[in-house]
Amino acid sequence: MQKRKLGKSDLEVSALGLGCMGMSFSYGPPKDKQEMTTLLRAAVERGVTFFDTAEVYGPFTNEELVGEALSPFRGQVVIATKFGFDLSGSDNRPGAAGLNSRPEHIKQAVEGSLKRLKVDVIDLLYQHRVDPDVPIEDVAGAVKELIQQGKVKHFGLSEAGVQTIRRAHAVQPITALQSEYSLWTRTPEKEVIPTLEELGIGFVPYSPLGKGFLTGKIDENAKFDSSDFRSTLPRFTPEALKANQALIDLLGSIAERKKATPAQIALAWLLAQKPWIVPIPGTTKLNRLEENIGAVSVELTPDDLRNIDVAASKITVQGARYPERLEKMTGR
């Protein structure tokens, strides 16, 4: 597996990471713990060294799973986790919890994450969503202290806007920004990616396969269980899925030419955008993991990339990526 550095930091990870959320949370009922442990270890055997979790996934159970499964590989893998939700209430649906990035809460959250992940230091700690009630300088300052104490190595933000990125970076250098980015969510291209390039910050796209849509396996007849949060997303209504099929047709035609799959083309396209971009597709299946890893060796020429851009620019993606309440938590 090729390696990449996140921005100007010394944090080197596999060119593709593994998003672990769906193993415990959000995409239907939690998966079998033993099967997921086997999958996580299979990822390490195949060269994946970058794993993404968060305290809110579960809550807590995903960090426990990742911590236990990866405990034999301490020092060989990089585990990223996130703080920023208030998990004291009982409603644990995605985004149902309020935000809390008060410095004392961050320190508490980190103690919990360290225990669950069975580590002495968190490799990369993200603020999960920007908290409008806490100045970002205070958040960055709290993480800076944790770095000085040796409890955290690197600081990251998720779904932050450019002003927030700049203000935080001035207090404690940011190693990575994690936000949604794929062929059907290209918002970061306008302001965020140029800012990251200027400041030397790495970019970790989540949902690089459009929450499964860009695999080409979801059409307008897809049914989502109420425990699958895609059932709440405007972009996953039958009308939007039908309208967005043009994107799949585009990926499919390129995939055929390259003897690859639509998912591999979608990931290869992301990898080709910048050398400091590290997508984290999630999966709960070994064959999907192997397919995703295969994307690293798909070579897209400048011509291929131009053709994809020209064709994609003619397709208007239908549907917001989140319901309004969750959309408000992004880009702050």
Of the candidates 152, 151, 154, 101, the one whose C-alpha atom is nearest the C-alpha of residue 128 is 101
pLDDT value of position 277: 98
State the Rg of the chain over Cα. Answer: 19
CB atoms within 10 A of CB 84: 25
3-state SS, the chain, equals CCEEECCCCCCEEECCCEECHHHCCCECCCCCHHHHHHHHHHHHHCCCCEEECCCCCCCCHHHHHHHHHCHHHCCCCEEEEEECECCCCCCCCCCCCCECCCHHHHHHHHHHHHHHHCCCCEEEEEECCCCCCCCHHHHHHHHHHHHHCCCEEEEEEECCCHHHHHHHHHHCCEEEEEEECECCECHHHCCHHHHHHHHCCEEEEECCCHHHHHHCCCCCCCCCCCCEHHHHCHHHCHHHHHHCHHHHHHHHHHHHHHCCCHHHHHHHHHHHHCCCECCCCECCCHHHHHHHHHHHHCCCCHHHHHHHHHHHHCCCCCCCCCCHHHHCCCCC
Those residues whose C-beta lies under 8 Å from the C-beta of residue 117, and which sit 6 or more positions away, are: 53, 63, 66, 67, 79, 81
Q: Which residue is listed with tokens 């549907």?
A: 319
pLDDT value of position 200: 98
Of the candidates 91, 87, 11, 90, the one whose C-alpha atom is nearest the C-alpha of residue 54 is 87
Q: Give the tens place of pLDDT for each residue, 299-325.
A: 999 999 999 999 999 999 999 999 999
pLDDT value of position 96: 65
Give CA–CA dist 234/237, Å, rounded.
6
Of the candidates 278, 134, 98, the one whose C-alpha atom is nearest the C-alpha of residue 205 is 278
Residues of the chain with pLDDT under 70: 89-96
**What are the catalytic residues?**
57
- Alpha carbons within 13 A on the beta-carbon side of 183: 35
Q: Is the separation of the CB atoms in 225 and 263 below 8 Å?
A: no
pLDDT value of position 88: 81
Q: What is the pTM of this model?
A: 0.97
pLDDT value of position 124: 98
pLDDT value of position 97: 74
Domain locations along the chain: 3-209+273-298
- The correct CATH number of 3-209+273-298 out of 3.90.1170.50, 3.20.20.100, 3.40.50.170, 3.65.10.10 is 3.20.20.100
Give CA–CA dist 293/17, Å, rounded.
9
pLDDT value of position 291: 98
